Structure 1
Amino acid sequence: MGFLLFDRRSLTMLLILSELIFWLPNLKSEETLDSLLQDYAFRAFVRPKTGIVYNGSVPSNLTGIKISALRLRSGSLWARGVETYNEFEIPKGIIVEPYVERIVLVYQNLANWSASYYSLTGYTHLVPVLGLLAYDASNLSAKNLPELFIRSSGEKPISIRFQNVGLVPDGSVAMCVWFDLQGRVNFSNVELGNTCLVSQQGHFSIVANYTDVRQIRTKNSKATWLIVGSVLGGVVLVVVMVLVVMWIRKYMVKKKMGRMEREAEVGEALSMKSVGNVKAPSAMGTRTQPAIEHDYVP
């Protein structure tokens, strides 16, 4: 029984370890992801030729990410640049530090993994994160290579033309974002609606600040409620004024009726007599009898 218990525990631990190993790339940092993608990009070189783009494959647990590799001479990169490398346009005058004879430019498209590795609080990605990293090409079987430092000499920047840029939320502004190799985040303006201009290698995207959108919606909501409150307040005031006027009129009528009743009670009542089928008030008999003013009778 003890052996079986030990065996079950061992089997459980083995299953847990296998799961961790299988999903390990998902738990790694950006730097380790770059090393992993560098390894798989270099595997795409079969009988490599300079200046040809080779598309690589990624592990099944990173499905969606696209990678490719391009081998170049440093001198050629300086003199001619690269007219088109997927979304990147690399001008001439690129400096490579430290200098090596040949370099490999590894391209990354993180697709649905963009927010997992390069999330920004308060921002949403409008396009996938794209990476451009340079490595020494002297050993195409090497792993965990350090990145070379490439930068534009200043004559013309590196251009990134993103495809299928998402809609910018109302009230927000699209911004280019650049994640450098030191982990710093830099922002710049979007050119022509889908283009970012950069001077160095790294990871790039277009983002929008959705915090501003929430603030604008909150302000609009407050303004709406203020208008609604003002309108309702005005309506209530009008209703109150109408009721007051009606009460005053009713009070005045009631007061007038009371006065008339009091005057009627003080005055002399008239008797009612029938004239045919109609009853009408009738005055009492004359109180003062007529008298002749003079005794002279003609």
Structure 2
Amino acid sequence: MAIASSSSSLLLLMFLAFLDHGAAVANLSSIEAAVRDRAFQLFRRTSEIVAVDVPAVLAGAGVEASATRVRSSALWADGVNATVPGLAVAVPPRVVPAPFARRVAIVFVRFLGDASSWLFDAPPGYALAAPVVALLAFDASGPNGGVALRALGAPVRVEFRDISPASGFNATAARCLTFSSGGGKAVAAHAVAMEPGPSCVVSGTATGHYGVAVRVETPPPPPPPRPPPVRERWWVWKVGATAGGVAAASFLAVTVVGAVRWRRRRRREEMERRAMCGEELGRMAVRGSRMPSAKMVRTRPELEEELS
């Protein structure tokens, strides 16, 4: 058992070395397994709450833990009340481990600072307002496997003491969340009841990860870009005016040329029409040739002698 524990801790330290470089995804189950191994090394007597000396790499990442060990009969009769820095957990009587174990180790883990943002993902439109808390239970009389704590009476109460209305916390815009871990970040799975404190009130299965998230106001859209000053746009106006003048002059020239050509064509057509509609001349024979002659003389000839 000690050899397996040491090897798992070594693998954990190698994996969590990436946290120093700001990695966004870590193995949550490996972290909690390392905390569990340290907790079992520190137990001295039943019902004593001890601070778990987590590995340095976990402590540097913001992981804190406390643990206690209790008999199942005492857990059913009296429950457990644990107060650790920034956290108070009240496990009422009538709580049983599932599967059953004669002794139960209860571990409280707090993910401080960036550890919460690295390991847990708040739902869209919300942000975590306090470090996420893990309430874990293990079989302390057998193979140290995980067990669930089922509250058959009053609900379990997890109070967050790091936030208060004096610090600007708005309880009306907050939600108490549970998280489910997968391949990457643990995502918000359900919302549970919240009471003043603020506290998460959990009925049924009480083991899990709990956090308080507040609604984040969506920032307003950025204002539209302002137009450039007039001094910066004078060349735009100049180019536009020049192009418009050239276009207008071209249109006027084309219009004038077209009008002149149309007028000349109309005059030529008029002349041709008049020529086709003129008076037809008569014909007369002059020395064997037929020549055109007018049917009437508009100006009568006069002799020069009569004029003198």
TM bracket, shorter-chain basis: 0.5 to 0.7
Sort the Cα spacing of 1:107 and 1:22 in 2 relative to 1 into closer, same or farther, 3 A. Answer: closer
Corresponding position: 1:119 with 2:137? no
Write the deviation string for residues 132-185 of structure 1: whole angstroms up to 9, x where unpaired. 11101125xx6xx431011110x2100111112165678971110112578661
What's the counterpart of residue 99 of structure 1?
100
- State the alpha-carbon separation in 2 of the partners of residues 151 and 84 from structure 1: 17
**Greater strand fraction, Structure 1 or Structure 2:** 2
Distance of 1:88 and 1:80 partners within structure 2 = 14
1:103-122 alpha-carbon deviations (Å, 9 max, x no partner) = 10011011121121112243
Conservation of the 8 A alpha-carbon contact between 1:43 and 1:56: no
CA distance in 1, matches of 2:171, 2:76: 42
| C-alpha distance in 2 between matches for 1:117 and 1:170 | 24
Note closer, same or farther for the CA distance 1:160–1:218 as it changes in structure 2 (3 Å cut).
same
CA deviations on 1:28-74 (whole Å, 9 max, x unpaired) are 422222212111222222xx111101111111111231111101000
For 2:207, the equivalent position in structure 1 comes to 201
Determine whether 1:23 maps to 2:17: yes
The residue aligned with 2:231 is none
Aligned residue for 2:173? 173
Amino acid across the alignment from 1:190: M
User: What is the TM-score with the length of structure 2 in the denominator?
Assistant: 0.56
Contact persistence 1:168–1:174 (CA under 8 A) = no
- Check conservation: 2:68, 2:106, Cα contact below 8 A: yes
Indicate which of 53, 58, 62 corresponds to 1:62: 58
Query: What CA distance in whole angstroms lies between the structure 2 residues aligned with 1:118 and 1:22?
Result: 16
Q: Which runs of 5+ in 2 are unaligned?
A: 1-10, 225-308
User: Residues 75, 124 of structure 1: CA spacing in aligned structure 2 closer, same or farther, 3 A cutoff?
Assistant: same
Match of 1:269 in 2: none
Residues 22 and 127 (structure 1 numbering): CA distance in 2 closer, same or farther, change over 3 Å?
A: closer
**Equivalent of 2:137, from 134, 139, 153?**
134
- Cα distance in 2, alignment partners of residues 205 and 181 from structure 1: 14
Residue 32 of structure 1: SS of its match in structure 2? helix
Larger Rg: 2
Q: Is the 8 A contact 2:16 2:26 kept in 1?
A: no
Match of 2:80 among 79, 82, 89: 82
Structure 1 CA distance, aligned partners of 2:99 and 2:127?
A: 35
Instruction: Write the distance in 2 (CA, Å) between the matches of 1:73 and 1:24.
Output: 38
Matches within 5 A, 1:151-170: 151-153=150-152, 155-165=153-163
Shift of 1:99: 0.7
27-36 or 90-99, which deviates more:
27-36
Count of paired positions: 194
Query: C-alpha separation between the residues in 1 aligned to 2:202 and 2:180?
Result: 11
- Give percent identity, aligned residues only: 24
